[in-house]
Amino acid sequence: GAGVSQSPSNKVTEKGKDVELRCDPISGHTALYWYRQSLGQGLEFLIYFQGNSAPDKSGLPSDRFSAERTGGSVSTLTIQRTQQEDSAVYLCASSLVGAEYEQYFGPGTRLTVT
Amino acid sequence: GENVEQHPSTLSVQEGDSAVIKCTYSDSASNYFPWYKQELGKRPQLIIDIRSNVGEKKDQRIAVTLNKTAKHFSLHITETQPEDSAVYFCAASIEAAGNKLTFGGGTRVLVKP
């Protein structure tokens, strides 16, 4: 079946502009995660959604970052007033909850802030 | 919060030799430890994982060991092949707390033919 998809694959934006990144999880996966991977670095947790529960926003680096998940499926990550340090690959992952814990990653969105 | 350290950052081995990557974690409540392989320009893919109720797990040429007392876990790749060349990430999480993964910094493995 279809895996996790993300759009756009690449985004170049000017400093100070807002951007929206989209994630389509695997159908039926109730858990959805956003991570950030800076150049040559490991992955950093940003936010987690599980069903209808309040999201875990503990990894968001500043109040310029927000995310929502509509209808328990598609999620958008919004970065307001982008800064150069926001440049990174933003990865989305989804998983089942319960016996299956594997997180399946999407291809990522490469964000470049000029 | 959890902190995961990973060593070495780069590892070069001859084809056929073994590769070992080590990780330590700080939160004793962590109980799930996956390993991801990321090829250049690709998404991370799970290659093996271990939970805290076992000490070792094998899958063909790959094995992972866990020492809960010392809070460290290791990935072992035997009979390495050129296609094993990639960046490998360890991670730790608490399954009951949403399974948010804290990743190590990654190990770039190069298998020389």
Q: Map A48-73 to HEC letters.
A: EEECCCCCECCCCCCCCEEEEEHHHC
Q: Indicate yes or no: CB of A42 within 8 angstroms of CB of B45.
A: no
Confidence band, pLDDT 50/70/90 cuts, at residue A100: low
Give the residue from chain A lying closest to B95, CA to CA. A101
CA triple B55-B58-B59, angle to 5 deg? 155
CA triple B5-B57-B84, angle to 5 deg? 65
- Alpha-carbon distance of A103 to A55, in angstroms, equals 17
The arithmetic mean of pLDDT across residues B69-88, rounded, is 97
Confidence band, pLDDT 50/70/90 cuts, at residue A9: very high
Q: Indicate yes or no: CB of B95 within 8 angstroms of CB of A101.
A: yes
For residue A48, which residues of chain B lie inside 8 Å, CB to CB? 98, 100
pLDDT(B28) > 90: yes
Which among B32, B49, B98 is the nearest to A50, CB-wise?
Answer: B98
The arithmetic mean of pLDDT across residues B76-94, rounded, is 96
CA B91 distance to own-chain centroid: 7
The arithmetic mean of pLDDT across residues A91-100, rounded, is 81
Which among B44, B105, B106 is the nearest to A105, CB-wise?
Answer: B44
Mutation for testing the B interface, residue in A38, A58, A89, A103 having most B CBs under 10 Å: A103
Mean pLDDT taken over chain A: 92
Residue A52: predicted pLDDT = 83
Strands B107-112 and B86-92: antiparallel
pLDDT(A1) > 90: no
Other beta carbons within 10 Å of B99: 21
pLDDT tens column, A12-65: 999 999 999 999 999 989 899 999 999 877 899 999 999 888 899 999 999 999
Distance from CA of A41 to the nearest CA of B (A): 6
3-state DSSP call for residue A13? strand
Greatest alpha-carbon pair distance for chain A in Å reads 43
The arithmetic mean of pLDDT across residues B9-33, rounded, is 96
pLDDT(B98) > 90: no
Residue B8: predicted pLDDT = 97
pLDDT(A88) > 60: yes
Please give the torsion angle defined by the CA atoms of residues A56, A62, A63 and A67, in that order, rounded to the nearest 10 degrees: -40
Both structure tokens of B49: 């994982």
Confidence band, pLDDT 50/70/90 cuts, at residue A98: low
Best CA proximity match to B34, nearest among A6, A83, A80, A105? A105
